[in-house]
Amino acid sequence: MGTGKRGLLTAAVTVVCAVTVLAAPGTAFAAPKPKPTATATTRPPAATPTTTPTASPTLPPNKDLEAVREKLDALYHDAAVATDEYNAAEERTRKQSAEIVELAKKIVEGQKRLDDLKDRAGAAARAQYRTGGLPPAAQLILSDDPQQFLDGAGQVLQGQRATKGLIVEMTRTQQDLKQYAQDASAQWNKLEANRKTKAAAKKKIKQQIAAAEKLQSRLEKKEKERLAKLEQEAAHKAQTAWLDTGILKEINGKASEQGKKAVEFATAQMGKPYQWGAEGPDTYDCSGLTSQAWLKAGHAIPRTSQEQWKQLKHVDLKDMRPGDLIIYFDDASHVAMYVGDGAIIHAPRPGRTVTLAGAGEMPILGVVRPDA
């Protein structure tokens, strides 16, 4: 085997092995131990007003805990944005890794083809050598049988044409190999860039979650209970305001067959912990849940909430039906599945589980339909 061939084959094998290493997902960041999440209803029951217990004078007033709640929301929101960046980079990495592997296969196949062409060209050259390399006119003069010579001359002409064809094909194969190598190099550079993007997003996710956990760890037990009450009150207030618009009178769409399957899958995941970057089967992040639900329903959709918002068909809120996806916040950083009667199923954030909630508890950006 020639040095050039060994180099290409070695490079191809190295590419495949290296892709396997780079494409491997990063070490999962363990989500905090989930706490039971209260199941939301279409119209949450009225919250019990909170009062400051006289037995705990050190408890901060509600307005201070409200600031803590808002800060936690901001931290977890930033973590969600970084999670979307991580997931997008991960999806690009998978595609680029697959492309590099295919290019490596083409390089190996192209090298085999080139070797075969060289062998055929060598055989043609050896055949010409056996004729002495004399020009056709000289061979005719020296031949004892002119007719035999003319028959042979026709075969030689065919051989010359075949040789030219071999040369053309060899040149094209060499050009293809060069292009494959350039394409592989370009994909490799993209793969490396995505690795850095994933690493930066992962670092930010950890920082935001750690900051949120540290903030919560400073609270006493009763403060945490009050904070949870404030969160419930805020969700109740937002959902009630949304329902009071009369929106449910307009929403009466029926789920498609695929939509029903997606809802069934999402419902079966309730109670499983949130974990950023997770697509199941034991843990999920918000878009991991929705993308897997629709995949199980037989319809693949983009991995991230932002790409789901960009690529899927937008529908009016009043035309929403079970199985549709509601995208939240101006930056499309959260997604949930509408299940009917003003409710959603979603994977909220670290420390929570897949749960049922009111569709209006968060600011709605819009609605998309996977199976439009």
User: What pLDDT, in 10s, does the model give residues 195-239?
Assistant: 788 788 888 888 888 888 888 888 888 888 888 898 999 999 999
CA distance 41 to 341: 9
In this prediction, residue 127 has a pLDDT band, given cuts at 50, 70 and 90, of: low
At 236-255, the pLDDT tens digits run 999 999 999 999 888 888 99
Q: What is the CATH number of domain 3-25+60-217?
A: 1.10.287
Which is more confident, 129 or 53?
129
Instruction: Look at residue 158 in the predicted model and tell me its pLDDT.
Output: 54
Instruction: Look at residue 308 in the predicted model and tell me its pLDDT.
Output: 96
Instruction: Answer for the pair 328, 360: CB distance below 8 angstroms, yes or no.
Output: no
Instruction: Look at residue 34 in the predicted model and tell me its pLDDT.
Output: 39
Residue 25 has pLDDT above 80, yes or no: no
Instruction: Look at residue 62 in the predicted model and tell me its pLDDT.
Output: 60
Percent of the chain with pLDDT over 90: 35
- For the chain, where do the domains classified as CATH 3.90.1720.10 start and end? 251-369
In this prediction, residue 160 has a pLDDT band, given cuts at 50, 70 and 90, of: low
Residue 52 has pLDDT above 50, yes or no: no
Which is more confident, 162 or 114?
114
In this prediction, residue 163 has a pLDDT band, given cuts at 50, 70 and 90, of: low
Instruction: Look at residue 95 in the predicted model and tell me its pLDDT.
Output: 80
Which residue among 17, 236, 299, 346 is the active-site one?
346
Find which of 43-47, 50-54, 247-251, 339-343 is predicted with most confidence, using mean pLDDT.
Answer: 339-343
The H or E element containing residue 346 is strand 343-346
CA distance 257 to 141: 85
- For the chain, where do the domains classified as CATH 1.10.287 start and end? 3-25+60-217
In this prediction, residue 264 has a pLDDT band, given cuts at 50, 70 and 90, of: very high
Which residue among 17, 236, 286, 299 is the active-site one?
286
Q: Say whether 346 is catalytic.
A: yes
Instruction: Look at residue 303 in the predicted model and tell me its pLDDT.
Output: 93
Arithmetic mean of pLDDT, 75-100? 82
Phi, psi of 125 (to 5 degrees): -65, -40
Instruction: Look at residue 261 in the predicted model and tell me its pLDDT.
Output: 96
Q: What is the CATH number of domain 251-369?
A: 3.90.1720.10
Residue 125 has pLDDT above 70, yes or no: no
What is the 3-state secondary structure of 255-287? CCHHHHHHHHHHHHCCCCEECCCCECCCCECHH
Q: Say whether 314 is catalytic.
A: no
Q: Say whether 17 is catalytic.
A: no
CA distance 131 to 138: 11
Instruction: Look at residue 105 in the predicted model and tell me its pLDDT.
Output: 79
Instruction: Look at residue 54 in the predicted model and tell me its pLDDT.
Output: 40
Q: Which sign does the torsion angle of CA 312, 316, 318, 319 carry?
A: negative
Closest CA to 76 of 202, 211, 203: 211
Which is more confident, 108 or 275?
275
